[in-house]
Amino acid sequence: MKNTKLVAAAFIIGIVIIASIYGVYSLYASPSEPSPTATPTVTPTTSPTGTESPTSSPTSTATTKPTTKPTASSNTQTNPTPTPAPTEVTVTDGAGNTMTIPLPVTKIAALDGGIAEILCAMGCQDLIVGRTDSCTMPPSILSVKTFGIDDYSPNVEALITLDPDIIFASSMLPYNPTSYQQLKNAGIPVYIIDTTTPEPTNPSKLTKDELYALSTPIDFTCGLMQNFTKIVGHQTEVDTYVTWAQNYNKIVKDRIYALTSTQQVKTYLEWYGYGRTFVTQSVYQAGGINIAENQTVYSPTLSTEFIVEQNPSAIIVLIASPTHNINDFIAAKNDVQNRTALQNVDAVKYGRVYVCDFYARSGVRCVVGYLYWAKWLQPSLFSDIDPATVNQELNQKFFGTPIAGTFAYP
């Protein structure tokens, strides 16, 4: 009996030992299943772009994707510091003079009609506190006080008393060095610029592609307005004008490009007096050939004999008509047509004498003058365009009102 108990006890002890060994083996040899709560939760510390923080530990990377979108902490967002408005601008004018102008400009004296009209088209009329008698466009500018006849003979003392932030004038002002120097000595920035292109390249020897690439009066005006924005702002208004004007610029250039040399019209261009002319690419850009193309100076005076010998098929006369009265244009046309020496010239015989306001070939109205010239010289190419309608389109678009008056005839 005693032996039986001993055997039973030994059997039970063996079972316990075997079970213990088996449990230890299972603990170390069997793969463990991760507990759902054992997955580390990582709160993103970076911006929503997901860029990993350089301080994060590789062992902290979660094995599952976050269940929510990371949101940037409110303290990571900062408002950009606004760029302070400039207090001055340094510019170089058309005469090569460099000057520093305090900003913002709130008082302008515009002494040249073309410049005044450009500034008004840019939306700056409310800044113009002084003008000269030559500044007549748009008509609303007539309410601004005048300070002299023109920029050659301004009322210097009154302008100094006015104390504008800047004076805009044409190259006529430096021809009066006393007045010019007095204004500069008063500490007023005087910006000299002409609204027409400087002495241009003689285009008679250029290829069609070279002629096409030459700057037109429209290109010049657009560039001039862009320069003005550095002083007076109004970039949006200038961008609108540039888009509008360059549309017509391209129309003319593309159609003129197709002409052969035999289709170009021989043209005599006259300005401010019988025989006075100038060598300009504008005649070619409108589809003509300038009879003065081989003159050795930019602005020669042609003899009657030379004009008759050249026998131009068209004559374009430039005049200044401050009131834009049609009678000024009719009188200029009749003057040319009644010249005895020109009666056998084709332009006179066939009634191809045209008159254009000088300011319709410069400034904002250069588009209008450009279209008139092209239509006069190449009527078949521009039968679909009415320059008078374009002129009223300009008035409405940039001055907000129709403007009466003649700018070209017929």
Distance of alpha carbon 113 from alpha carbon 136, whole angstroms: 6
| Total of domains in the chain | 2
DSSP state for residue 147 in the 8-state scheme = -
Last-in-domain residue among 144, 169, 192: 192
Q: Inter-axis angle of helices 366-377 and 387-399, to 10 degrees?
A: 170
- Tokens 């862009």 -> residue: 226
> Which run of H or E residues covers position 238?
helix 235-257
Considering the domain architecture, whether residues 273 and 333 belong to the same structural domain is answered as: yes
Burial of 89 (0-12, 13-18, 19+ CB in 10 A): middle
Cβ contacts of 235 within 8 Å, gap of 6 or more: 229
Distance of alpha carbon 197 from alpha carbon 321, whole angstroms: 20
Considering the domain architecture, whether residues 277 and 402 belong to the same structural domain is answered as: yes
Distance of alpha carbon 190 from alpha carbon 97, whole angstroms: 9
Q: What tokens does 344 get?
A: 């056998």
Instruction: For residue 218, give the nearest of 233, 240, 197 by alpha carbon.
Output: 197
Q: What are the phi and psi torsion angles at 397 (to 5°)?
A: -75, -35
Q: What is the dihedral angle through the alpha carbons of 268, 274, 275, 276, rounded to the nearest 10 degrees?
A: -90
Last-in-domain residue among 192, 220, 250: 192
Tens-of-pLDDT digits for all 410 residues of the chain? 444 443 344 444 343 333 343 343 333 333 333 333 333 333 333 333 333 333 333 333 333 444 444 444 445 566 777 788 899 999 999 999 999 999 999 999 999 999 999 999 999 999 999 999 999 999 999 999 999 999 999 999 999 999 999 999 999 999 999 999 999 999 999 999 999 877 777 788 889 999 999 999 999 999 999 999 999 999 999 999 999 999 999 999 999 999 998 999 999 999 989 999 998 889 999 999 999 998 988 899 999 999 999 999 999 999 999 889 999 999 999 999 999 999 999 999 999 999 999 989 999 999 999 999 999 999 999 999 999 999 999 999 999 999 999 999 99
Cβ contacts of 111 within 8 Å, gap of 6 or more: 130, 131, 132, 134, 135, 147, 148, 150, 151, 154, 167, 168, 169, 170, 173
Considering the domain architecture, whether residues 183 and 248 belong to the same structural domain is answered as: no
Considering the domain architecture, whether residues 237 and 365 belong to the same structural domain is answered as: yes
Instruction: For residue 148, give the nearest of 173, 165, 126 by alpha carbon.
Output: 173
Distance of alpha carbon 386 from alpha carbon 57, whole angstroms: 76
Domain extent for 92: 88-192
Considering the domain architecture, whether residues 251 and 341 belong to the same structural domain is answered as: yes
Instruction: For residue 283, give the nearest of 307, 259, 267, 260 by alpha carbon.
Output: 267
Q: How far apart are the first and last CA of the chain?
A: 148
Considering the domain architecture, whether residues 179 and 139 belong to the same structural domain is answered as: yes
Considering the domain architecture, whether residues 183 and 283 belong to the same structural domain is answered as: no
Considering the domain architecture, whether residues 224 and 331 belong to the same structural domain is answered as: yes
Q: What are the phi and psi torsion angles at 153 (to 5°)?
A: -135, 65
The strand ranges marked E within 146-249 are: 166-169, 190-192
CATH number, domain of 116, equals: 3.40.50.1980
Burial of 326 (0-12, 13-18, 19+ CB in 10 A): middle
